[in-house]
Chain A
Amino acid sequence: MKLRIPKALAVGAVAAAMLATTGCGGILGGGGDKTADSGPIKIAAVIPMSGSSAPTGVYMKNGMQMAVDEINAKGGVLGRQLSLDLEDGACDPTQAAAAANKAVSNGAVISVGGYCSGATLPTLPIFAKANIPMIIPAANSQELVNQKLPNVFMINGTGSQQAAAAVKFMAKDGVKSVALVDDNTSYSKDIATETKKDLQADGTVKVALATSVTAGESDYSSAVHDIMGANPDMLYWTGYYQEGGLIINQLKAAGYKGKIMVADGSVDPSLVKIAGAANAEGVFATMTQTPDTIKGAETWIANYTKAFGSAPGPYSTQSYDAVRVAAEAMTQAKGTGGDAVIKALAGIDGFQIFSGPLKFTPEHTLSSGGFQILVVQGGKFILKDALA
């Protein structure tokens, strides 16, 4: 009993002190910031660092780190340094939600993460509730747009923009029938559904088959059998590269002669390795700009390679840009308060990022998806058609 009174007193005193300081901060800061106005600005990123999407997480992490280092070297934002708070979402909705909650309680003021659409979706309301702006570098399912949250901005083209690019190329390439195969994840299903819708509305290209496979397996002989039976001019695979590589390999082994196109989740050097160089030759891909296809990115690639000891991969550039856009918005907003930064983001006009000058649509997506067609040649993805 004796100990309790001083303890309660102490707690009371600390609470009072805290109230006093936050009160002061509020008055002095004037921006109504909930977070401290000194010390580094915390930027959260929920990206996959374990699980099957972990390789892409590394590309994203490095891209973000590079932008943070560059900005910090130039004196940071608003005179404060940036600090990256990376949380592992593991491409899993439950883990990603927990990671987002952790980031919020760590005092993040802006989020630049989001790779797997299925895992990014549950993080949206968490950041929205804390009024933290989100700049999503990679996740691009239409579902994310459909939430209509004011704090969510996407700097990767959306699923429907990708589907539109795919359909455009199919018609251009003289393809008469298409097989659509997805892996049952939100991202993949989204592109497949949108493509199917577009194709049926257009009417010139027939959908010969629309089917799904289970991700994480090795044997896709049943899908291969279905595709061979449907005998399409082109297969459009909308899932990720691990399964994509296997499907291409097994299709070619079964004697498939038609064309193959993959979506952006499959654009990775590993796709070629898994499929076998000879099998992957001539495979098309719908993809936003990658370091390899951007003119004038050579210096950037060299810097990245020097800093991290390996070449950049998919979403390195978008992640790099997400941090830069975040910094730009905070600079324009002259603070880190959620409302001001969201307003600044919506007002950005002409800020140069890899995909061109940035201006968000009213839906907070890129005004043009910037999707282009790549083709595998000599074991590498190179630009085939910019679809301009």
Chain B
Amino acid sequence: MTQLIWNGLFVGSFYALIALGYSMVYGIIKLLNFAHGDIYMLGAFVGFAMLTSVGVIPASMSITALLIVLLLCMIVTGGIGVGIEYLAYRPLRNSPRLAVLITAVGASFTLEYGVSAVAGPNPKVFPVRLEGDSFTVLGARISVPQLVLMVIAVVLMWGLNSYIQRTSMGRAMRAIALDTKGALLMGINVNKVITWTFFIGSALAGAAGVMAGAYYGKIDFLMGFIIGLKAFTAAVIGGIGNIKGAMLGGLLLGLLEAFGSQWLGGQWRDVFTFGVLIAFLTLKPTGLLGERVTERV
């Protein structure tokens, strides 16, 4: 039981990190950024490229090296996210919603097969793998790497939350989410804020990518697809557009999967998880923490 909870929380924290990017972007420009899962994949590949170019890293240094690479990767993927927004989404900002949605799908495929063309379609094995002892807490087997990654994820999420709550840029983001035109009239530089949003969201997804590469050990150019869908689901469960909701949704999805698999068997895990999702959304369409938006006429 405790093992299931731990497993669920661990996977859930990955979902949560990626879900944050979905939710932030949706909250601000009402765009479902389907390329977001592929930013996660890009993060893993950028990390892979950096670590391989450094050469052999002694085991004692692996955590330090990984943290440095993690930070660098966040900057790179953040930059790529900003680039995608600038090239693919900004020109379409006032176009019909469907056009932007399809552009996002296009951006997703471009990233996937671009990486496949550059790095090759074969899966890559991450040069640094987090390995460590494990210990038992209340019957759950917890390993040191899992703990390290959980701590990193929590720190990142906590940092994001205080950034949005406490800084003026965060306030501007919340203002745009409430009313874009109003924010513009109040003198907020909307473009700059949107750029920042993409930077932060993509940096978090990139961080998750590096962490997944280091923990699971295998990366490939399609690794962002399923997890992207799951993170999107998590964002919707939590109430899309809501930051805390995205975190909560991610953890909840992880737990649902762990328990679904245990109760009904692996074949039924996704049926169970998404069945619950459908039931949940019919009862509460706004998600856990989402607020009903009243249409202004």
B7 at the interface (CB under 8 A from A): yes
Closest Cβ of chain A to B13, distance in Å, is: 11
Knowing A218-B227, A222-B266, A223-B266 touch, does A50 contact B123 (C-beta < 8 A)?
Answer: no
Q: A273 to chain B: which residues have CB within 8 Å?
A: 125
Q: A346 to chain B: which residues have CB within 8 Å?
A: none
| Residues of chain A from 48 to 81 with CB closer than 8 A to chain B in the complex | 50-52, 54-55
A249 at the interface (CB under 8 A from B): yes
Q: A276 to chain B: which residues have CB within 8 Å?
A: 129, 217
Instruction: Convert B246-279 into 0s and 1s, putting 1 for each residue whose CB lies closer than 8 angstroms to a CB of A.
Output: 0000000000011011100111011000000000
Return the contact of A216 from the options B225, B261, B269 (Cβ within 8 A): B225
Instruction: Convert A201-227 into 0s and 1s, putting 1 for each residue whose CB lies closer than 8 angstroms to a CB of B.
Output: 000000000011110111101110110
Decide: A254 and B226 in contact? CB cutoff 8 A: no
Closest Cβ of chain B to A269, distance in Å, is: 10
**How many angstroms between the C-alpha atoms of A291 and B265 in the bound complex?**
38
Decide: A225 and B220 in contact? CB cutoff 8 A: no
Decide: B121 and A55 in contact? CB cutoff 8 A: yes
A350 at the interface (CB under 8 A from B): no
Decide: B267 and A225 in contact? CB cutoff 8 A: no
Q: A181 to chain B: which residues have CB within 8 Å?
A: 266
Closest Cβ of chain A to B176, distance in Å, is: 34
**How many angstroms between the C-alpha atoms of A181 and B223 in the bound complex?**
21
A242 at the interface (CB under 8 A from B): yes
Q: A253 to chain B: which residues have CB within 8 Å?
A: 134, 143
A108 at the interface (CB under 8 A from B): no
A326 at the interface (CB under 8 A from B): no
Closest Cβ of chain A to B89, distance in Å, is: 26
Decide: B261 and A274 in contact? CB cutoff 8 A: no
Decide: A218 and B223 in contact? CB cutoff 8 A: yes
The bracket for how many chain B residues form the interface is 35 or more
**How many angstroms between the C-alpha atoms of A225 and B3 in the bound complex?**
8
Knowing A218-B212, A218-B227, A222-B269 touch, does A242 contact B218 (C-beta < 8 A)?
Answer: yes
| Residues of chain B from 55 to 110 with CB closer than 8 A to chain A in the complex | none
**How many angstroms between the C-alpha atoms of A222 and B216 in the bound complex?**
15
Decide: A274 and B218 in contact? CB cutoff 8 A: yes
**How many angstroms between the C-alpha atoms of A219 and B10 in the bound complex?**
10
Return the contact of B266 from the options A51, A213, A242 (Cβ within 8 A): A213
> Could you jot down 29 A-B contacts, CB within 8 Å?
A50-B116, A52-B222, A54-B121, A55-B121, A211-B267, A212-B265, A214-B270, A219-B11, A219-B14, A221-B10, A222-B4, A222-B257, A222-B260, A222-B262, A222-B266, A223-B266, A225-B3, A225-B261, A225-B262, A226-B261, A226-B266, A242-B123, A246-B216, A246-B218, A249-B217, A253-B143, A270-B125, A273-B125, A274-B218
| Chain B residues at the A interface, C-beta cutoff of 8 Å | 3-4, 7, 10-11, 14, 113, 116, 121-123, 125, 129, 134, 141, 143, 212, 216-218, 220, 222-223, 225-227, 257-258, 260-262, 265-267, 269-270
Besides A216-B226, A222-B4, 4 new A-B residue pairs in contact (Cβ under 8 A), listed by A number: A50-B116, A225-B261, A226-B262, A255-B134
